[in-house]
Chains A and B, each alone.
Chain A
Amino acid sequence: MKNKILIGTAGILAAFSIYSCKPKAPEDATTGDAASRVYVAPGKYDEFYNLVSGGFNGQLSVYGIPSGRLIKILPVFSVFPENGYGYSEETKPMLNTSHGFVPWDDLHHVAISTTKGEHDGRWVFANGNNTPRVARISLSSFRTEEILEIPNSGGNHSSPFITENTEYVIAGTRFSIPMGNKDVPISSYKENFKGSISFIKVDSSSGRMNIAFQLRTPGFNFDLSRAGKGPSHGWFFFSCYNTEQAYTLLEVNASQKDKDFIMAVNWKKAEEYIAQGKGTIEKANYAHNVYDDKKHSATSTILNEVKVLDITQFPDIVYFIPCPKSPHGTDVDPTGEYIVGSGKLAATMPVFSFTKIQNAIANKEFEGDFSGIPVIKYEAALHGEVKKPGLGPLHTEFDEKGNAYTSMFVSSEIVKWNVKTLEILDRVPTYYSIGHLSVPGGPTKKPHGKYVIAYNKITKDRYLPTGPELTQSAQLYDISGDKMQLLLDFPTTGEPHYAEAIPASLIQAKSLKIYKIEENEHPYAAKGEGQTKVERKGNEVHISMTAIRSHLTPDNIEGVNVGDDVFFHVTNIEQDWDVPHGFAVKGANNAEILIMPGETQTFKWKPLSSGVFPFYCTDFCSALHQEMSGYIRVSPAGSKTPLKFSTGKVENQESGAGK
């Protein structure tokens, strides 16, 4: 009895002690006036656009900062029934690959174009991680204009980071694979598996991408990368892991070595070799998809060769720098002098000096080689280490005052430190397990500063629960003072990986309002109701239709048979801001299409049964939107119902049925 009381008391005491040990509650973490600092009054604009990767939703989302409001989701690598991306005939080619139509991808990283290392607000690039692709999205139309598939890649993770003047977008393979789709045993990894890094040239006026050359590397994994800038312009830095060259249970087998590498690439040197005609042309099939906003259509071209430089043949292009334990982020500070390696399993965080790397190369301070590539001595390249930064460092962004902000996945925090002195200045918790983080302009030569945004992997108790599948989230911190201050949590769509924020002033004014109808070069455009028509070509029926508030022309169509392929080419002939029209047909095995003013989009429908099918405008456009509809009559296969179309024509009510 006495013992029981003792045990009970001890239990209560233990419970109290656990309670008292519990970390302070998250609600204590915000500052008192946080609400007013993120409040953007109705009708007012946010200060920054935040372009956030959607991860496994394959899309890019646009948020306003500081409010954290979701403004728009832009489809990139995934079909989007909401606006018909990947469903309309015009956009289907955008998702074409050498594997055929791939309707989904995993969009991890973004890169806003820069000129002289500073944001120019023209395009944002994004990577498709699964079926290797790079996309370019216009920051004027906010549409995906181009998608380039990456051959010889096993997963495009180390991408789409860009050089100072957007000369190149990079695409480094995550997984090494046998080149040329060779059928080899998996266990022949060391012998047969190779890595490849694609340098995608970007045309400075049109933005068009093409693979200038690929570097063929020894087989291991590439994680992330950043271009040099300022003094280090002309170099590119890649984090490498699995230098153990494991092909199974990587969790253990790729975590054995004390140090993996940061790979420094002298791409100017590589350019010289290419200019000298060095390198080999290899066969490779990959798709290049381009959207033309005059024809309002995409074309997909399958390319079949790529120029390759094997780095083991050109040893002065590439140098390895040892970096502790499976580095994830490799980030270059705004001055271009310092390169931060984030060994995600390491206890310290090395910061390398570009000057020291150059000296080490000049003085041949190498500790050996890896597959014939020189490995620079760790100390010779090192500026210094950030001691005890936190657990699981992943990514680093920079402000305009010489500070760095590193995300710590395991200890779930952001750590602020000084790039030169390596002194830790502040740390704040994130809720929970931050992955990427973003300071406006953080990867550029001229960070805009003011905020750091955390993109978290776990939300647990932060929002109203929605069953097992919870929202993902971002958190906004003020970094204008010495101490970081949590201001706001906001939920995100998909899974946010990397994101960039850019001042609205660089984009807002040039945002497109309408497509000019007179510039519409779509072959089936009806640029006025007088140009509407219905034509039969064999078993294809092409309907050139117009949409304007509040009617479709034609809205009565007859003469279509079961088994025909019916193409509704709908032109929105409005020339007014924010008046899209939509289009859908009952029973169509398709999504709707949304048509912007001045644009033509095509909805394909294969009627499977006879009858009269309504179609209508799906975007509430006007007071008489509910009236914006029509009928299409489908006769049994082989019928001779005459082709007929009209709008506003009333025939004898009795003459129709059964005749």
Chain B
Amino acid sequence: MKKLKPLSRLLIALSALILISAYFVPLWQIVMWAPQYPEGLTMKIWIDNITGDVNIISALNHYIGMRHIEVSMFPEFGYMIYIVGFVIGFGLLVSILNRRFMLIAYALLLMACGIGALVDFYLWGYDYGHNLDPTAAIIVPGMAYQPPVIGTKQLLNFTAFSGPDIGGWIFMVSAALAIGVLIVEIYLSRKKI
């Protein structure tokens, strides 16, 4: 049973605790600029909500047949709070129980969460951008309106940007801490041998 350095345990606890911020700050943001919207339209994705200019974006999207964005359509907003809660609890448990295999599991869990969230986001984006109302006013042959998963993309008159918000960045710091600690632990234990 490989154990962890005291500093590592502290950093893992920190990695878990900073995730609490996910309940208080937006995780992801989508910003859209157009000639008529030089100030940009912003959509903020929280752990259980979407805020910002959602109604305006939906109203504009109806021209191309995209569905109206409603919080109730996303089951994720119902269970994401539990997933993050579980991750935080697991991280603290790693710190308390002091087992390296648990740290490996924690790091994998964080990575899985990140990848899972991006995949989920991609699937929703794909669905929204492709499943268009066939009676929409504006139909551009061959055109889909899937937002970028990360980065910017031109969609007709809009330049859409998608990227992490404060909560997203904190999640990355948390994951980096866990992975970093794991790498250092492995490196140190190999040196001993």
A550 shortest CB reach to chain B, Å: 8
- Write out the residue numbers on chain A whose beta carbons fall within 8 Å of the beta carbon of B55: 575
The answer to the question of A574 belonging to the interface, with a C-beta cut-off of 8 Å to chain B, is yes
- Write out the residue numbers on chain A whose beta carbons fall within 8 Å of the beta carbon of B137: 550, 623-624, 627
A623 touches B56 (CB 8 A): no
6 other A-B residue contacts (CB within 8 Å) besides A574-B59, A575-B55, A576-B59: A549-B59, A549-B60, A549-B63, A575-B56, A576-B56, A623-B137
A548 touches B63 (CB 8 A): no
Contacts from B to A (Cβ < 8 Å)? 53, 55-56, 59-60, 63, 137-138
B138 touches A623 (CB 8 A): yes
A622 to B53, CA, bound (A): 18
A550 to B138, CA, bound (A): 12
- Write out the residue numbers on chain A whose beta carbons fall within 8 Å of the beta carbon of B56: 575-576
- Write out the residue numbers on chain B whose beta carbons fall within 8 Å of the beta carbon of A627: 137
- Write out the residue numbers on chain A whose beta carbons fall within 8 Å of the beta carbon of B60: 549
Instruction: Please give me the 9 A-B residue pairs with the lowest Cβ-Cβ distance, nearest first.
Output: A576-B56, A624-B137, A549-B59, A575-B55, A548-B59, A623-B63, A624-B63, A575-B56, A623-B138
B55 shortest CB reach to chain A, Å: 6
* Docked complex: A424-454 residues within 8 A CB-CB of B: none
Q: List 19 A-B contacts (CB under 8 A).
A: A548-B59, A549-B59, A549-B60, A549-B63, A550-B63, A550-B137, A574-B59, A575-B55, A575-B56, A576-B53, A576-B56, A576-B59, A622-B63, A623-B63, A623-B137, A623-B138, A624-B63, A624-B137, A627-B137
A597 shortest CB reach to chain B, Å: 10
Which A residue sits closest to B60, measured CB to CB?
A549
A239 shortest CB reach to chain B, Å: 49
- Write out the residue numbers on chain B whose beta carbons fall within 8 Å of the beta carbon of A574: 59
* Docked complex: A589-629 residues within 8 A CB-CB of B: 622-624, 627
Interface centre among B53, B59, B137, B138 (most CB of A within 10 A): B59
Which A residue sits closest to B41, measured CB to CB?
A576
Which A residue sits closest to B38, measured CB to CB?
A43
A576 to B59, CA, bound (A): 10
- Write out the residue numbers on chain A whose beta carbons fall within 8 Å of the beta carbon of B59: 548-549, 574, 576
B163 shortest CB reach to chain A, Å: 24
A576 to B32, CA, bound (A): 14
Q: How many residues of A contact B (CB 8 A)?
A: 10
- Write out the residue numbers on chain B whose beta carbons fall within 8 Å of the beta carbon of A548: 59
A549 to B138, CA, bound (A): 14
* Docked complex: A552-584 residues within 8 A CB-CB of B: 574-576
- Write out the residue numbers on chain B whose beta carbons fall within 8 Å of the beta carbon of A549: 59-60, 63
- Write out the residue numbers on chain B whose beta carbons fall within 8 Å of the beta carbon of A550: 63, 137
- Write out the residue numbers on chain A whose beta carbons fall within 8 Å of the beta carbon of B63: 549-550, 622-624
* Docked complex: A325-382 residues within 8 A CB-CB of B: none
A624 to B59, CA, bound (A): 13
Which B residue sits closest to A623, measured CB to CB?
B63
- Write out the residue numbers on chain B whose beta carbons fall within 8 Å of the beta carbon of A624: 63, 137
Which A residue sits closest to B135, measured CB to CB?
A648
B145 shortest CB reach to chain A, Å: 15
A86 shortest CB reach to chain B, Å: 31
A256 to B59, CA, bound (A): 71
- Write out the residue numbers on chain B whose beta carbons fall within 8 Å of the beta carbon of A623: 63, 137-138
B67 shortest CB reach to chain A, Å: 16
A537 shortest CB reach to chain B, Å: 32
A446 shortest CB reach to chain B, Å: 33
A495 to B137, CA, bound (A): 47
* Docked complex: A458-485 residues within 8 A CB-CB of B: none
A627 to B137, CA, bound (A): 10
- Write out the residue numbers on chain A whose beta carbons fall within 8 Å of the beta carbon of B138: 623
What 1/0 mask marks residues of chain A from 616 to 645 whose CB sits below 8 Å from any chain B CB?
000000111001000000000000000000
A335 to B147, CA, bound (A): 62
- Write out the residue numbers on chain A whose beta carbons fall within 8 Å of the beta carbon of B53: 576
A627 to B55, CA, bound (A): 21
A549 to B60, CA, bound (A): 8
A260 to B138, CA, bound (A): 73
B113 shortest CB reach to chain A, Å: 34
A43 shortest CB reach to chain B, Å: 9
A599 to B95, CA, bound (A): 57
What 1/0 mask marks residues of chain A from 104 to 130 whose CB sits below 8 Å from any chain B CB?
000000000000000000000000000
A550 to B64, CA, bound (A): 13
B53 shortest CB reach to chain A, Å: 8
Which A residue sits closest to B157, measured CB to CB?
A623
A627 to B138, CA, bound (A): 13
A259 shortest CB reach to chain B, Å: 60
B66 shortest CB reach to chain A, Å: 14
A549 to B56, CA, bound (A): 10
Which B residue sits closest to A548, measured CB to CB?
B59
B161 shortest CB reach to chain A, Å: 19
- Write out the residue numbers on chain B whose beta carbons fall within 8 Å of the beta carbon of A622: 63
Which A residue sits closest to B57, measured CB to CB?
A576
Which A residue sits closest to B138, measured CB to CB?
A623
B35 shortest CB reach to chain A, Å: 12
A163 to B175, CA, bound (A): 64
B146 shortest CB reach to chain A, Å: 21
Which B residue sits closest to A576, measured CB to CB?
B56
What 1/0 mask marks residues of chain A from 139 to 154 whose CB sits below 8 Å from any chain B CB?
0000000000000000
B52 shortest CB reach to chain A, Å: 12
B108 shortest CB reach to chain A, Å: 44
A548 to B59, CA, bound (A): 8
A623 to B156, CA, bound (A): 13
A574 to B58, CA, bound (A): 12
B70 shortest CB reach to chain A, Å: 14
Interface centre among A549, A576, A622 (most CB of B within 10 A): A576
A575 to B55, CA, bound (A): 8
B158 shortest CB reach to chain A, Å: 13
A329 to B63, CA, bound (A): 59
A624 to B56, CA, bound (A): 16
A574 to B55, CA, bound (A): 9
A575 to B63, CA, bound (A): 17
A550 to B59, CA, bound (A): 9
What 1/0 mask marks residues of chain A from 526 to 549 whose CB sits below 8 Å from any chain B CB?
000000000000000000000011
A531 shortest CB reach to chain B, Å: 16
Which B residue sits closest to A624, measured CB to CB?
B137
A560 to B91, CA, bound (A): 69
- Write out the residue numbers on chain B whose beta carbons fall within 8 Å of the beta carbon of A575: 55-56
A619 shortest CB reach to chain B, Å: 14
B69 shortest CB reach to chain A, Å: 15
A625 shortest CB reach to chain B, Å: 12
A576 to B138, CA, bound (A): 21
B25 shortest CB reach to chain A, Å: 24
A63 to B67, CA, bound (A): 43
A623 to B138, CA, bound (A): 10
